[in-house]
């Protein structure tokens, strides 16, 4: 596959996969998801790779979630239940037999926050901002983005994140267990490199077994998400979802708050 939305680099046992859409805060469209799936499979089964790093291009964002520019009032139009192959993308993040590290700068919002949650480890710059926005945009992640988030930060905090759609600093994310470490933005690359080096010293087979064993406890969320996405697809066709999505698109274009 020839990538347009993604950058792939492999060096010293580390595969770095970068969402390369900084003009839209690295928001993903259907093509982005397809390329990410391909890139993760490429790294997951390469015996020379011991760690996978997921990040976003530029300094402003890790990933701002689904690209509203490719989201009509009836949903997305690509492959997958909701028009994005998110089930496959989430699955390969979990099934890759290697540790996956989210390297987060700037915005980590919506579907981007889901990706970071799915990564095995998350290391954030002190300028990172986390949060969910689905209910404010006429959308929701009914699988890992809700269930795994609740398992990670607790049900009360997960409900707060989804019900209120607030933003959280890197330090707040650290306190709630959403990230593993926070460092100054200038040190983020070096810190991730240090974590990768430590991981590469360990037995890859033992790491794969540990990851699969830990993930087994939440494997039920895959089925819940697949079922939930069918409901989301139906939701996208409702007058309620269309009105909220239309208002969100209009707000983005005008830059004015809805009154």
Query: Has residue 240 been placed in a domain?
Result: no
Residues in the chain: 259
In a domain, residue 78? The reply is yes
Does residue 232 belong to any structural domain of this protein? Answer: no
Range of lowest pLDDT (48-57, 162-171, 243-252): 243-252
Average pLDDT over residues 52-66: 97
Residue 258 has pLDDT above 90, yes or no: no
Q: Tell me, yes or no, whether 211 lies in a domain.
A: no
With a CB cutoff of 8 Å and minimum separation 6, the contacts of 172 are: 130
pTM of the full predicted structure? 0.91
Both tokens of 178, joined, read 């959403």
pLDDT recorded at residue 191: 98
Return the percentage of the chain with pLDDT > 90, whole number.
77
Dihedral of alpha carbons 161, 109, 170, 168, sign: negative
Average pLDDT of the segment spanning 190-197: 98
Question: Domain for residue 126, yes or no?
Answer: yes
Backbone phi and psi for residue 168, each to the nearest 5 degrees, phi listed first: -130, 135
Q: How confident is the model at residue 257 (pLDDT cuts 50, 70, 90)?
A: very low
Question: What rounded mean pLDDT belongs to the chain?
Answer: 92
For residue 236, pLDDT beyond 80: yes
Cβ 195 vs Cβ 112: under 8 Å: no
d(CA 212, CA 189): 27
Question: Of the ranges 1-5, 93-97, 121-125, 245-249, which one carries the lowest mean pLDDT score?
Answer: 245-249
Domain count, the chain: 1
Residue 254 lies in a domain: no
Specify if 133 maps to a domain.
Answer: yes
Answer yes or no: is pLDDT of 70 > 90: no
CATH of the domain at 43: 3.90.226.10
* pLDDT score, position 5: 97
Asked if pLDDT for residue 193 goes beyond 60, the answer is yes
pLDDT of residue 14: 98
- Residues 10-42: tens digit of each pLDDT: 999 999 999 999 999 999 999 999 999 999 999
Degrees to nearest 5, angle at CA 102 with 252 and 176: 80
**What is the predicted pLDDT for the residue at 75?**
57
The pLDDT of residue 253: 61
**Residues 93-147: tens digit of each pLDDT:** 999 999 999 999 999 999 999 999 999 999 999 999 999 999 998 889 999 999 9
pLDDT of residue 234: 86
Residue 256 has pLDDT above 50, yes or no: no
The residue that leads in pLDDT, 54 or 226, is 54
Confidence at 259, pLDDT banded by 50, 70, 90? very low
Residue 172, domain member (yes or no): yes
Which domain, by its residues, includes 162? 6-186
């Amino acid at each position: 596959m020839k990538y347009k939305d993604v950058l792939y680099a492999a060096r010293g046992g580390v595969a770095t996969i970068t969402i390369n859409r900084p003009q839209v805060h690295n928001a993903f469209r259907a093509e982005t998801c397809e390329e990410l799936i391909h890139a993760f499979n490429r790294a997951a089964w390469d015996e020379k790779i011991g760690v996978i790093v997921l990040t976003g291009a530029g300094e402003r964002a890790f990933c701002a979630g689904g690209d509203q520019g490719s989201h009509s009032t009836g949903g997305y139009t690509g492959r997958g239940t909701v028009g994005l192959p998110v089930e496959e993308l989430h699955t390969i993040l979990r099934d890759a037999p290697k540790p996956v590290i989210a390297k987060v700068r700037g915005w980590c919002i919506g579907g981007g926050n889901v990706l970071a949650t799915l990564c095995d480890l998350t290391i954030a710059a002190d300028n990172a901002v986390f949060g969910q926005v689905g209910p404010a945009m006429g959308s929701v992640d009914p699988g890992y983005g809700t269930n795994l988030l609740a398992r990670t930060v607790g049900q009360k905090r997960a409900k707060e994140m989804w019900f209120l759609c607030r933003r959280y600093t890197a330090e707040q994310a650290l306190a709630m267990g959403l990230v593993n470490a926070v460092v100054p933005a200038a040190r983020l690359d070096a810190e991730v490199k240090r974590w990768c080096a430590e991981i590469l010293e360990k037995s890859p087979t033992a790491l794969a077994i540990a990851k699969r064993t830990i993930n087994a406890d939440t494997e039920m969320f895959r089925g819940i998400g697949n079922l939930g996405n069918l409901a989301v697809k139906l939701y996208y066709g409702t007058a309620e979802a269309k009105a909220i999505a239309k208002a969100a698109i209009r707000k983005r274009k005008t830059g004015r708050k809805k009154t």
